[in-house]
Amino acid sequence: MSSGKKDELNRNMTLRVRALESLLLEKGLIETPAIDELVDMFENRLGPWNGAKVVARAWNDSEYKQRLLADGTAALAEMGFDTIQGEEMVIVENSPDTHNIIVCTLCSCFPWAVLGLPPVWYKSAPYRAEAARDPRGVLREFGTEISAGTELRVWDSNAELRYMVLPERPPGTEGMDTEELAKLVTRDSMIGVSKVAPPSAA
Amino acid sequence: MNSIHDMGGMHGLGAIDTTDDATVFHADWEAHTMALARAMMAGKYFNLDEYRYAMERINPACYLGLSYYQRWLAGTITMLVEKGVITQDEYEAQLDALKRGET
């Protein structure tokens, strides 16, 4: 879309949303502070840094990792990450033999309690279609290599059940503490479209 | 329900645009659309499953042409009208007034 068309779309949509918001405010059905709070929560307080902490702890604490894999919901709650709508969480572990990737083919269900809101591509029609049909193609589009012998598992999320990938710990991270490890873990590696890169030499 | 939203495996939808500027909302209206939907669900005017169903019922040609938050807004308005919280006429009158700069 050209930037002119995009501006027009944004102007148009701004009016449409403002119309609904002002109508609901007039009827006393919403209040501005509540709207602002919701925006702040989703824009600033939820994000992949939460999931990264979980991954880092699992890498350094094998007992926590076992609990995480056995009951994701409970193990996340241990770290204070509650699923906001009461959905269950299942954590799936990547290894040299198995690579996991998550999708929501029907809409955009995403483990946002630990990863924040999903990227635009995750919610897009091409991803929703292709992840189910050709996950190796998806990985190629993201520039991620996995060997032909690695089993690839695709997890289709739904409203009641969400997934997060526990990515493989990269080489060169021996002895790193959880805070340092967490800095390496990307949102995309917890979706499964990429791997966690080894720490750079610098 | 086997409607247009059931996209797993579908062909012809094009390549994935993998670019991602990591911005949560690309315009204020998106953020407010999200917040309004959640606020109305928190107020129990409709629930998440009904809301999802409202979006799944969007005309297929429109569904494919609307962006993600445009679908959310359409779903919210559908829900509020169907539940009798607002009327379509009220909403359009409010929109007209805004366009004319009156509100």
Res. A202: pLDDT tops 60: no
A52: distance to nearest CA of chain B, Å?
Answer: 16
ipTM (interface pTM): 0.95
How many CB atoms are located within 10 Å of the residue B10 CB?
16
pLDDT per residue as tens digits for the range B43-82: 999 999 999 999 999 999 999 999 999 999 999 999 999 9
Kindly determine whether residue B55 and residue A107, on different chains, have CB atoms separated by under 8 Å: yes
Domain assignment of residue B14, yes or no: no
Domain assignment of residue B67, yes or no: yes
Domain assignment of residue B70, yes or no: yes
Question: What pLDDT is attached to residue A201?
Answer: 61
Question: What pLDDT is attached to residue A85?
Answer: 73
Question: What pLDDT is attached to residue A18?
Answer: 98
Tell me which residue in A13, A106, A126 faces B14 most closely, judged by beta carbons.
Answer: A126
Domain assignment of residue B35, yes or no: no
Domain assignment of residue B6, yes or no: no
Chain B residues within an 8 Å CB radius of A160: none
Domain assignment of residue B7, yes or no: no
Question: What pLDDT is attached to residue A116?
Answer: 94
Do residues B40 and B19 lie in contact, with contact meaning Cβ atoms separated by under 8 Å? no
Instruction: Confirm or reject contact between B43 and chain A (CB < 8 A).
Output: yes
Helix, strand, or coil here: A123? helix
Q: SS3 string of B19-42?
A: CCCCCCCCCHHHHHHHHHHHHHHH
Cα torsion at B22, B27, B33, B38 (round to 10°)? 40
The residue range of the domain holding B102 is 47-103
- A window 25-44, beta carbon within 8 A of B: 27, 29-30, 34-36, 38-39, 42-43
Mutate to test the interface with B, among A20, A142, A162 (most CBs of B within 10 A): A20
The mean predicted confidence, pLDDT, of chain A is 95
Over residues A112-119, mean pLDDT = 94
Instruction: Confirm or reject contact between B9 and chain A (CB < 8 A).
Output: yes
Domain assignment of residue B91, yes or no: yes
Instruction: Give the burial string for A63-87 (b: 16+ CB within 10 Å, else e).
Output: ebbebbeebbbebbeeeebebeeeb
Question: What pLDDT is attached to residue A86?
Answer: 79
- CATH number for the domain spanning B78: value is 1.10.472.20
Number of domains chain B contains: 1
Domains, chain A, in order of start with CATH, read 3-45 (no CATH), 49-191 (3.90.330.10)
Question: What pLDDT is attached to residue B103?
Answer: 52
Domain assignment of residue B72, yes or no: yes
pLDDT per residue as tens digits for the range A75-104: 999 999 987 777 899 999 999 999 999 999
pLDDT per residue as tens digits for the range A34-67: 999 999 999 999 999 999 999 999 999 999 999 9
Chain A residues within an 8 Å CB radius of B20: 119-121
Prediction pTM value: 0.93
Over residues A111-115, mean pLDDT = 93
Res. B25: pLDDT tops 90: yes
Residue A44: closest C-alpha in chain B = B24
Confidence of residue A124 (pLDDT cuts 50, 70, 90): very high
Question: What pLDDT is attached to residue A83?
Answer: 78
Kindly determine whether residue B36 and residue A85, on different chains, have CB atoms separated by under 8 Å: no
With a pLDDT cut of 70, the percent of chain A lying above it is 99
pLDDT per residue as tens digits for the range B81-99: 999 999 999 999 999 999 9
Q: B85 to each of A72, A103, A157, B1, how far by Cα in Å?
A: 38, 34, 31, 26
Q: At A88, give phi and psi (nearest 5°).
A: -85, 150
CA distance linking residue A36 with residue B32, whole number of Å:
8
Please tell me the least confidently modeled range out of A185-194, B18-27, B36-45, B92-101.
B18-27
